Amino acid sequence: MIFVLLETANQRLTEPSLETLTAARDLALKLGDATEALLIGSGVRALAPTLKGLQSVSVVEDTRLTGYVPEAFAKIAAEAIQKKRPNTVLAPGTEVGNDWLARVAVRLDLGLAAGCTGFSVENGALKSVTRTNWGGSLLEEIEILSNPKLLTLQPHAVSAQPLTGGEPTVETVTVTLDERDFRVRMKELVRKEKKGLSLTEAKVVVGGGRGLGNAEAFKLLEELAGLLNNAAVGATRVATSNNWRPHSDQIGQTGTQIAPDLYIAVGISGAIQHMVGCKNSKKILAVNKDSEAPIFQRADYGVIGDLHQILPALIAEIKKLKGA
Amino acid sequence: MKVLVCIKRVPDTGGGFRLTPDSKRVDTTNLGFAISPHEECAVEEAIRIIEKHGGSSTVLTLGPTAAQEQLREALAKGVSSAILLETEDYESWDAGAVAQAIAETVRSMGFDLLLFGNESADACNYQVGLRVAHLLDLPCVSGIKALEIQERRAIAKRDSPEGWEVYELSLPAVFTVKEGINVPRHPSLRGIMSAKKIPIEQKKPIRRDPQMARELLKKPQEGRQLEILGQGVEAVAKVATKLRELGAI
Ligand SMILES: Cc1cc2nc3c(=O)[nH]c(=O)nc-3n(C[C@H](O)[C@H](O)[C@H](O)COP(=O)(O)OP(=O)(O)OC[C@H]3O[C@@H](n4cnc5c(N)ncnc54)[C@H](O)[C@@H]3O)c2cc1C
Ligand SMILES: Nc1ncnc2c1ncn2[C@@H]1O[C@H](COP(=O)(O)O)[C@@H](O)[C@H]1O
């Protein structure tokens, strides 16, 4: 049996949870196996019957379990796994899912493959998985030697399909939780003031790197972004670690992953850890004075030259076009 | 206050990866090595906490003899002492094995605060810190981007799309940190000199039976066709036309 740990938000399944169900069903089909799931929270019971095609859904309803409560969730999942004896356990590879399954893995002393993107089935059994390394700039094929096999699914690795089939049986699970299971728990949520378009919402992102030379030069990028539709400014790690821009502007492996229609990379060499954060852009336009820069192997459009000359000229040209 | 920071030596790959002929690992010939970014921030956080509250910090890595380079870098920035769990084939250790070796080493050392990266740069397992916490029966919050110590309590914040999630744990506790929590300092020349005199404690860790076995590494497909729009300011008219074509203007 394949057992899926589901993440919810406001009594709904998250997109990564739906993706994980799709991957689990797909794998179950290849293995000729059944799929079951675990739902934990407050007010999540109504979701269970909607999980069509699953054999059974275990539900833990508890008002204390609103939101993600790490140790309680890990205890419940570990107990369910011990009872149900699945051969594979799958969770979404989100912050919650990775945290949750890591805690389960150490409790049950099992291996865990985080960030999986594919499965290799041989002779009716899961032989190995493909998972992300280096934030997705490399892939690793790996065999999980312990049983059951624990995996988290990289978000966007599969697209969520509607669930079809019969309604699952719903099992209500009761668990005893003590104080210790609540020693890690969110105390409050401090909402942030929203200023401007975020990097993940923007349709156009203008990114700047070491080639800008200083914080001041980013004004050029701000000005360019201001002239473009739904545009925001991003940066490389060199720019953030020099304090030219805040870390929240950083694009890449240890920054934000963006997927705009257009990414304009200015004075950026195209290091693999930066590109992994913008590789899902529909188009990439690079401006760099070095025609040998790696960015030109990873861009759709290139302009070779000094950004300090090109950007002001481009800004003037766009103003002219817009004025006309 | 006693703070532990766990770091990993990783190649600084820059423009792209080359794999060894057997595709088992990254070919590191001619590459430099670094402390990965999340962990660099964990080191900085440890130094700041000790500067503010007093006490000592220790940096630990499980890695090859050459990883002394990364330990020295942390010492040069201001960490007080270093431990090397020395093993040449550290890349074949799975997260469970690394966590067990770390937990066994530090179990009786009385740390108040244990800091890890949220995930290692190369393996991206997202789990060593969480595993160590459980093995030592300590509470842990992963992926934090702010940390404040008050008396025997730690207030940590996670950055989520909805806002700042605030957690409060009593010490001892474990946190895994993300880049952005601070901007790490560069070591000073004096720091580099005095770090040379600090002895590194070396131990041979015992590897438990593996639970994971890598078969190979491969590169994901990249496929973009480059069109050069021009050189210098002469290109701007063409760039503007292209921006319009793409709906950006
Ligand atoms: C584990 C790990 C994680 C990392 N995570 C990230 C991450 O999340 N995000 C990230 O960005 N980096 C990350 N890095 C760092 C990354 O490897 C690179 O060091 C960084 O992206 C380089 O930034 P850059 O392109 O601004 O600088 P450089 O590599 O120095 O490139 C500057 C470019 O600007 C060009 N240039 C200079 N002057 C001009 C001019 N006047 N006009 C036009 N072009 C000019 C140069 O030709 C050069 O190509 C990470 C590294 C590691 C090891
Ligand atoms: N070999 C190692 N030596 C010391 N610390 C490590 C090692 N591997 C991982 N870590 C720590 O554990 C964190 C998470 O690693 P991982 O679970 O591999 O993603 C890293 O950011 C480091 O802080």
Give the separation between CA A55 and CA A168, rounded to whole angstroms.
Answer: 5
Atom of ligand 2 nearest to the CA of B127: 17
Average predicted confidence (pLDDT) for chain B: 96
Q: Are residues B11 and B59 in the same domain?
A: yes
> Structurally, how many domains does chain B consist of?
2
User: Of B182, B173, B199, B180, nearest to B3 (Cα)?
Assistant: B173
User: Of A230, A242, A227, nearest to A205 (Cα)?
Assistant: A230
Q: Are residues B152 and B67 in the same domain?
A: yes
Q: Which residues from B are below 8 Å from A129, CB to CB?
A: none
Give the separation between CA B99 and CA A320, rounded to whole angstroms.
Answer: 60
Q: Are residues B188 and B136 in the same domain?
A: yes
Predicted local confidence at residue A215, as pLDDT:
98
| CA dihedral of A37, A41, A46, A52, whole degrees rounded to 10 | -20
Q: Which residues from B are below 8 Å from A254, CB to CB?
A: 36-38, 121, 178-179
* CB neighbour list of residue A215: distance below 8 Å, 6 or more residues apart: A242, A243, A244, A245
Pick from B121, B231, B237: which is nearest to A134 by CB?
B121
Query: Residue B77 maps to which CATH number?
Result: 3.40.50.620
Which residue has a Cα nearest atom 31 of ligand 1? A269
Q: Are residues B241 and B142 in the same domain?
A: no
Q: Which amino acid is at A17?
A: S
Question: How many of the other CB atoms lie within 10 Å of CB of A226?
Answer: 11
Give the separation between CA A27 and CA A33, rounded to whole angstroms.
Answer: 8
DSSP letter (8 states) at residue A275: H
Q: Does A170 touch chain B (CB under 8 A)?
A: no
pLDDT, tens only, A195-211: 889 999 999 999 999 99
* Shortest distance, CA B185 to any CA of chain A (angstroms): 9
Are A29 and A2 in contact, with CB atoms under 8 Å apart? Answer: no
The finding on whether B61 has its CB within 6 A of some atom of ligand 2 is yes
Q: Which residues from A are below 8 Å from B225, CB to CB?
A: 300
Token pair 């913008």 in the structure block, residue: A278
User: Of A250, A303, A302, A249, nearest to A276 (Cα)?
Assistant: A250
pLDDT, tens only, A125-142: 999 999 999 999 999 999
Residue contact B216–A141, C-beta within 8 A: yes
DSSP letter (8 states) at residue A288: E
Signed CA dihedral, B140, B178, A13, A88: sign only: negative
Q: Which amino acid is at A151?
A: L
What are the structure tokens assigned to A172, written together?
Answer: 């209500």
Q: Are residues B41 and B79 in the same domain?
A: yes
Task: Tell me the sheet residues that pair with A118.
Answer: A130
Q: Are residues B200 and B223 in the same domain?
A: no
The model's confidence at residue A324, banded by pLDDT at 50, 70 and 90, is low
Give the separation between CA A142 and CA A120, rounded to whole angstroms.
Answer: 10
Domain with B239, as residue range(s), is: 209-249
Are B140 and A184 in contact, with CB atoms under 8 Å apart? Answer: yes
Report the residue of B93, B243, B245 to disrupt the A interface, i.e. the one with the largest count of A CBs within 10 Å: B243
DSSP letter (8 states) at residue A200: T
pLDDT, tens only, B163-207: 999 999 999 999 999 999 999 999 999 999 999 999 999 999 999
The finding on whether A269 has its CB within 6 A of some atom of ligand 1 is yes
Predicted local confidence at residue B16, as pLDDT:
83
Average pLDDT over residues B145-173: 96
Residue contact B17–A139, C-beta within 8 A: no
Report the residue of A126, A274, A310 to disrupt the B interface, i.e. the one with the largest count of B CBs within 10 Å: A310
The finding on whether A307 has its CB within 6 A of some atom of ligand 1 is yes
Q: At what angle do helices A218-227 and A307-323 cross, to 10 degrees?
A: 20
Say what percent of chain B tops pLDDT 90: 94
Pick from A138, A185, A247: which is nearest to B180 by CB?
A247
Give the separation between CA A153 and CA A305, rounded to whole angstroms.
Answer: 42
Q: Which domains does chain A have, with CATH numbers?
A: 2-182 (3.40.50.620), 204-322 (3.40.50.1220)
Average pLDDT over residues B78-105: 97
Task: Tell me the sheet residues that pair with A58.
Answer: A38, A171
**Residue A278 Rama label (left phi>0; alpha psi -120 to 50; beta):** alpha
Are A80 and A59 in contact, with CB atoms under 8 Å apart? Answer: no
Pick from A99, A187, A228: which is nearest to B248 by CB?
A228
Please say if the pLDDT value at position A147 is more than 70: yes
Are B153 and B169 in contact, with CB atoms under 8 Å apart? Answer: yes
Q: Are residues B97 and B64 in the same domain?
A: yes
* Shortest distance, CA A144 to any CA of chain B (angstroms): 5
Pick from A70, A132, A146: which is nearest to B124 by CB?
A132
Residue of B128, B207, B211 to test ligand 2 pocket, by largest number of atoms within 8 Å of CB? B128
Residue contact A188–B220, C-beta within 8 A: no
Residue contact A142–B244, C-beta within 8 A: no
Give the separation between CA A166 and CA B189, rounded to whole angstroms.
Answer: 69
Predicted local confidence at residue B25, as pLDDT:
94
Instruction: Provide the terminal-to-terminal Cα distance of chain B, rounded to the nearest Å.
Output: 56
Q: Are residues B56 and B129 in the same domain?
A: yes
Predicted local confidence at residue A193, as pLDDT:
85
Strand B32-35 relative to strand B9-12: parallel, antiparallel, unpaired?
antiparallel
Atom of ligand 1 nearest to the CA of A307: 42
User: Of B102, B81, B82, B98, nearest to B90 (Cα)?
Assistant: B98
Q: Are residues B231 and B203 in the same domain?
A: no
Average pLDDT over residues B81-106: 97
Give the separation between CA B141 and CA B155, rounded to whole angstroms.
Answer: 10
- Backbone phi, then psi, for B133, in 5-degree steps? -55, -50
Residue contact A99–B142, C-beta within 8 A: yes
What are the structure tokens assigned to A139, written together?
Answer: 């892939």
Pick from B163, B212, B237: which is nearest to A191 by CB?
B163
Signed CA dihedral, A243, A253, A159, B246: sign only: positive
Q: Are residues B26 and B78 in the same domain?
A: yes
pLDDT, tens only, A16-39: 999 999 999 999 999 999 999 999
Predicted local confidence at residue B222, as pLDDT:
78
Q: Which ligand is nearest to the CA of B16?
A: 1
3-state SS string over chain B? CEEEEECCEEEECCCCCCECCCCCCECCCCCEEEECHHHHHHHHHHHHHHHHHCCEEEEEEEECHHHHHHHHHHHHHCCCEEEEEECCCHHHCCHHHHHHHHHHHHCCCCCCEEEEECCCCCCCCCCHHHHHHHHCCCCEEEEEEEEEEECCEEEEEEEECCEEEEEEEECCEEEEECCCCCCCCCCCHHHHHHHCCCCEEEECCCCCCCCEEEEEEECCCCCCCCEEEEEHHHHHHHHHHHHHHCCCC
Residue contact A302–B242, C-beta within 8 A: no
Q: Are residues B203 and B221 in the same domain?
A: no
Q: Which residues from B are below 8 Å from A139, CB to CB?
A: 217-220
Q: Are residues B84 and B103 in the same domain?
A: yes
Q: Which ligand is nearest to the CA of B205?
A: 2
Please say if the pLDDT value at position B159 is more than 80: yes
Give the separation between CA A26 and CA A31, rounded to whole angstroms.
Answer: 9
Report the residue of A7, A73, A112, A156 to disrupt the B interface, i.e. the one with the largest count of B CBs within 10 Å: A112
